[in-house]
Chain A
Amino acid sequence: MAETSINPHVGDGNNAAPSPLDWLIRRPMLLAWTVALGAATFFWLFGQPWAKWAFKYPSAWKWKISKEISAGMEWLMNEATFGLFTFRELTRAISWVIEKPYEIVLSLLSTGFLEGQGSQAIQIIPPLSWIAVLTVVVLLGRYVKDWKLGALLGGCFLYLVVFGQWESAMVTLSSIMIAVPLGIIAALFVGLLGYRSVWVERAITPVLDLMQTVPVFAYLVPVLIMFGFNAVSAMIATMIYAMPPMVRVTMLALRQVPSEIVDLGTMVGCTRRQMTWKVLIPSAVPTLMIGVNQVIMLSLNMVIIASMIGAGGLGADVLASLRSLNFGGGIEAGFAIVFLAIALDRLSQAMAEKAPASHGDGQNEGILKKYPYTVFCTAVALITGIVGTSWGVSWASWIGGPSWGMYSAAVQDYPEAWTITTGAFWSDIIKHINVNYFDYIDAFKGMLLTNFLVPFKRFLVSLPWIAVVLLLGLAGYTLGRWRLACLCMVLSLFIAVVGLWEKAMITIYLCGISVLVASMIGMPIGIAAAQRDRLWRVVQTIIDTLQTLPSFVYLMPVVMLFRVGEFSAIIAVVAYAVAPAVRYTAHGIRQVDPQLIEAGIVSGCTPFQLLTKVKLKLAFPEIMLGLNQTIMLSLSMLVITALVGTRDLGQETLIALTRARTGDGIVAGLCVAFIAIIADRLIRAGAERMRTRLGLQ
């Protein structure tokens, strides 16, 4: 055993075996790694007594940056001024801009237009009736694509009505309807600036990286302090969360506009504004719509988290049930979010694919023929609106008696008596499982924890931080020379210096285990699906749907079965992060040049050899990127699992949120972001090298 580990490669070549030392010297990187790992192991085993500081970062050396951030925040709110107006006035102005349109949409969908204040308010115009909203979404589906989409949308919204989620759903929908367009417009402008100026792009790219990796909880606190506990804060946080991909997509989409089209714009003498709005953006619309879809999905993902800082609606319902362990109620509200997400996702995708109406001779034919959908929707809204008012109700009762009156009222508000609830059903199932199988589940969980999870966690926490920082530096140097080495060391050192090393290690442990499990599940599925077209179609549908679900939804069933704790967290993270592992593996394999596969077959490969020697080798860079995505999703989900009781950086941000400590939240959030960035850069650099070596560039 010892011999082989010293010199595993003797006999590689045919010529006389070189001495192992020669062999190593000719491979400087390998030599460096051997030395470094050996030294690190030695230090880890025997260094503790004489270098305690290297194992536990001394609190005396800690950089108290979080206090400074909190103080800065306070100064910003109380003293900062721009000469003409103070910072606080600025935040109020922003609030106002967002609040006004929100109030209008909310009135239309939920509260009705009111006169007067508070409880004395009188409703002048009722909100749109549920029948009217249903009509609108069904016809919208028909208009954008076909009756099938209309039926799907109608079905999703019908769920909201029948299961008594309407009120909350309309509140959520209102905030989405404001946050999404505002987010899109803002992102479009930022993206446009980035497109026009390389400098702006260089400045915003790292900001976007941070925005996408810093956990949401971290910036909820400053948003909360600046804008207060209300729906506006929630919408702003949603916009911050949902914007970055749209900014990237905008820059990409504008760059992808063929240069000939830009030349055309110049040749016909476009001014800059004409070029932007008449040439560039219309030509980029198909790609831009992908970004729009992303903004919508991310906004829905935020629904529950945003309710922590004042968004009402479905998110607040879910959060409340999760806190009171009322699983049945939580599941119904959770499903409501899911159905809303599916409806909006399919609708926006269909919009993205919708080509302008084909050549009809759009001659004027009167308003009804020209806008049949609009006319019909308005009519339904008006009629149901009138029938549902108290005036309509009394009129109906007068004509057909009290039952008519009841129906008439039901047109406006779906009667509570008609709603269905399955809450008890879900609670019973969980109860049944827990009564009958709790012992097995618990034993299984306990076995995994004591034998695998806890030892791994202890190992990571016991590592000397200085050695980890240096090894990361070496990894960076191996894959991307000094730049990457410096980046890795500086970022990891930051984590140690702010005193969050141990929590960070727990995050890495949870993330690592989850990624490992997710890859072990996802990659074989991906490999299997890649080689069978029908299976791939099924798998694709499933992972598409999984990725539509808001991350919170994964938490509920897990907590019900496994209670709170790290184990539940890991399972939820795995469920959330498995999709990219499947997707990228399958993609990578399916992308392999068919000629190379034919070459393999002609060379006499067995199917297994074909897979291992051709397909997997060539798909490797793509699979690495899948791994990268899995890590990113795991980290973002991990933070949310803090709600079910992990003791990592995620929990740190959550505590900061509940205690409204800006600095703590931001610092812990940055640590999570840095872990993500280190992993991302290392893996990307590795994949890049691999691609170059394989000539896939």
Chain B
Amino acid sequence: MISDPGLLVLVGTLALATAVGLVVRARAGRMRTGGAASGGWALAGTAPAASDRVLLLQLSSPVCTPCRRTAELLTDLSARRPGVVHLEIDVAERPDVARELSVMRTPTVVAFTRDGAELLRISGVPRLPELEAAIAPRLTGTGSA
């Protein structure tokens, strides 16, 4: 019975899919730093106002349920924390931005400092306390690079 190829493939497929699922779940919403993207404000077609410190550039697609939840979270965050700007870009409208930032999945949020350097990025719905703690140091002081 164990030598039945269908059964072997069944067990193998479920094992592989479980591994993939666990990796995807573990990465979802987690921050990654070390990205070297720059020019975030320009990509979004804007420039920081005097009091702006951090840009949360959200890349979304039109049909994407977690994108809506992410937008709600970040709209709320930018309303609560002065200096935080949240902008959303539709990758279907602006594939060039997705290419420039090497973003394959939506939602992906790329955080930029005032001078446009990448601070961190998150794919999936962000874990808010983690994100807030990470950008907090950038919200104080003059915000110079």
Q: Do A and B bind each other?
A: no
Chain B residues with CB under 8 Å of chain A are none
